[in-house]
């Protein structure tokens, strides 16, 4: 059915309707942001250094310049931040990004994402804008704010909750991520039967695996807050508690459906965090970020306080209550 998608669309009106809804989904998001004064931009898909996320990239060769390049793993995060340095105050991009990782009902390797950057705003303001945007997009696309997703009843019109990262992990695993050691976290992962990649395993991956085990219990809609700085290498520190980041993640039906933060604009702090990420990478963590010297130099010229946020087409598939592949028009298939 997916291999001959044209026949699937031809014989199944609900699939044809899904294709139309998908267009409305992205156009309504574009319309919302444009009305709020955001400028739509396009940034490079081929990069010398893949940045803006913890992910394994696809690598290809650029014949004309005779060098290897990477397909981007974020929708221009570090480029849009350079536009903040350049004096733009509100930008967004809707485009394809690529992650050479596992495939399941929620994860794709080639998919559409939107990212916006908003100068002189912080994560608190970002949460308010995102909540408003999700309601607008849902209403425009589906004509509703109430959904049944993965067995959860979701009402986007109600007051969104705020979930504390450490409290959630402690509740479901008994681990204190700020106090327990890496061996203790690893012991908890094994006890809970959580499978994890032992190559390049470190405290960042341990915390992330514990969280992913817990998130499936949270219905939402709401925001996950107080994320450890260890798993937030591009986010600004909380001024009252430097161990946590000024970060928020949208939680819907037990999964993350959007990620934002007050962007780190201190070049010294950013350089130190890139260096720590590079050390993790050198020890075998293929998802750790690389040291991006050019981006640190851009920050040295001065980037204003900025809120950034990104959401992928996973949100559309969740609102459709279907696997992500079902909600792509032509999902990638292995040849016969």
* Residues 162-183: tens digit of each pLDDT: 999 999 999 999 999 898 888 8
Give every CB contact of residue 184 below 8 A, 6+ residues apart in sequence.
175
pLDDT more than 70, % of the chain: 100
Report the candidate in 265, 275, 236 with the shortest Cα–Cα distance to residue 81: 265
Instruction: Give the model confidence (pLDDT) of 269-322 as tens digits.
Output: 999 988 888 888 888 877 777 888 999 999 999 999 999 999 999 999 999 999
Across all residues in the chain, what is the average pLDDT? Answer: 93
3-state helix, strand, coil in the chain (%, to 5): 40, 20, 40
Token representation of residue 177:
């991520």
Question: Is the pLDDT confidence value at 251 over 90?
Answer: yes
Q: Which of 69-78, 138-147, 191-200 has the lowest mean pLDDT?
A: 191-200
Mean pLDDT of 254-268: 95
User: Which residue has tokens 């959007």?
Assistant: 258
Buried b (16+ CB within 10 A) or exposed e, 243-276: ebbbbbbbbbbbbbbbbbbbbbbebeebbebbeb
pLDDT value, residue 204:
84
- Confidence band of 231 (pLDDT split at 50, 70, 90): confident
Q: Are 308 and 263 in contact (CB under 8 A)?
A: yes
Q: DSSP code of 245?
A: B
Q: Are 112 and 95 in contact (CB under 8 A)?
A: yes
Question: Is the pLDDT confidence value at 200 over 80?
Answer: no
Q: Are 69 and 61 in contact (CB under 8 A)?
A: yes
pTM: 0.91
Distance CA 20, CA 242 (A): 45
pLDDT value, residue 86:
98
pLDDT value, residue 262:
96
pLDDT value, residue 233:
81
Specify the length of the chain in residues.
336
Which residues partner with 257 through β-bridges? Answer: none
Buried b (16+ CB within 10 A) or exposed e, 178-188: eebeeeebbeb
Instruction: Give the model confidence (pLDDT) of 98-142 as tens digits.
Output: 999 888 889 999 999 999 999 999 999 999 999 999 999 999 999
Distance of CA 324 to the CA centre of its chain: 15
pLDDT value, residue 64:
97
Distance CA 186, CA 269 (A): 29
CA distances from 1 to 7, 82, 326, 328 (A): 7, 43, 10, 13
pLDDT value, residue 197:
79
pLDDT value, residue 62:
97
- Confidence band of 87 (pLDDT split at 50, 70, 90): very high
pLDDT value, residue 159:
93
pLDDT value, residue 50:
87
């Amino acid at each position: 059915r997916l291999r001959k998608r044209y026949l699937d669309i031809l014989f199944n009106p609900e699939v044809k309707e899904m294709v139309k809804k998908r267009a409305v989904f992205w156009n309504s998001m574009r319309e919302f942001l444009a009305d709020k004064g955001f400028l739509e931009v396009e940034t490079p898909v081929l990069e010398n250094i893949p940045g803006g996320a913890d992910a394994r990239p696809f690598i290809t060769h650029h014949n004309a310049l005779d060098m290897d390049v990477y397909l981007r793993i974020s929708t221009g995060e570090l480029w849009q931040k350079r536009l903040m340095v350049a004096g733009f105050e509100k930008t967004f991009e809707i485009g394809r990004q690529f992650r050479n990782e596992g495939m399941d009902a929620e994860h794709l390797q080639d998919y559409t994402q939107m990212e916006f950057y908003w100068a002189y705003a912080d994560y608190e303001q970002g949460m308010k804008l995102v909540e408003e945007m999700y309601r607008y997009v849902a209403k425009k696309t589906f004509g509703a704010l109430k959904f049944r997703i993965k067995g959860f009843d979701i009402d986007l019109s109600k007051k969104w909750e705020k979930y504390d990262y450490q409290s959630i992990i402690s509740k479901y695993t008994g681990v204190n991520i700020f106090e327990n050691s890496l061996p203790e976290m690893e012991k908890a992962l094994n006890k809970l039967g959580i499978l994890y990649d032992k190559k390049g395993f470190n405290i960042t991956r341990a915390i992330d695996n514990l969280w992913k085990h817990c998130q499936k219990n949270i219905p939402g809609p709401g925001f996950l807050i107080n994320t450890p700085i260890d798993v937030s290498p591009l986010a600004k520190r909380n001024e009252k508690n430097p161990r946590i980041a000024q970060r928020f993640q949208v939680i819907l039906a037990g999964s993350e459906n959007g990620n934002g933060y007050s962007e780190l604009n201190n070049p010294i702090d950013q350089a130190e965090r890139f260096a720590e990420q590079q050390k993790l990478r050198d020890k075998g963590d293929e998802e750790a970020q690389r040291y991006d010297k050019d981006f640190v130099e851009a920050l040295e010229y001065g980037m204003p306080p900025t809120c950034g946020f990104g959401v992928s087409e996973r949100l559309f598939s969740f609102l459709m209550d279907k696997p992500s592949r079902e909600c792509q028009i032509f999902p990638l298939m292995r040849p016969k």
